[in-house]
Amino acid sequence: MSPNEFKASLTLDEPPKNFPAPLSALWWDAKGDWPRAHNLVDELESTEGMAVHAYLHRREGSLSNADYWYSRAGRIFYRSVLDEERQALVEGLLQHGPPPK
């Protein structure tokens, strides 16, 4: 899936079934449903899950919580525009493709 296809999928009622949790969380965030997005990554221990978790806390305005999760993800605080950060996360997750079955 391309980033443009991801954006087009936002017209759907649910994210595509093959999306891993971090990508689904970004999908819900793009739809404006922060709580649903957060619930998907709240207990994920993967680097991708923690990076999305950090981004979501930054969007929420909880910068100390975001810093904690950026650190857990092994990343420095990403200080660009929030929508640009979401786009970069989406593109990174799409490059990895769906998880193996």
Three-state SS string over 2-27 comes to CHHHHHHHCCCCCCCCCCCHHHHHHH
**Position 11 in a domain:** yes
pLDDT (tens place) for every residue of the chain, 101 residues total: 899 999 999 999 999 999 999 999 999 999 999 999 999 999 999 999 999 999 999 999 999 999 999 999 998 766 678 888 899 999 999 987 544 33
**Position 101 in a domain:** no
**Position 37 in a domain:** yes
**Position 81 in a domain:** yes
Evaluate whether 6 touches 94 at the Cβ level (below 8 Å).
Answer: yes
Whole-structure pTM value: 0.87
Segments forming the whole domain that contains residue 78: 3-96
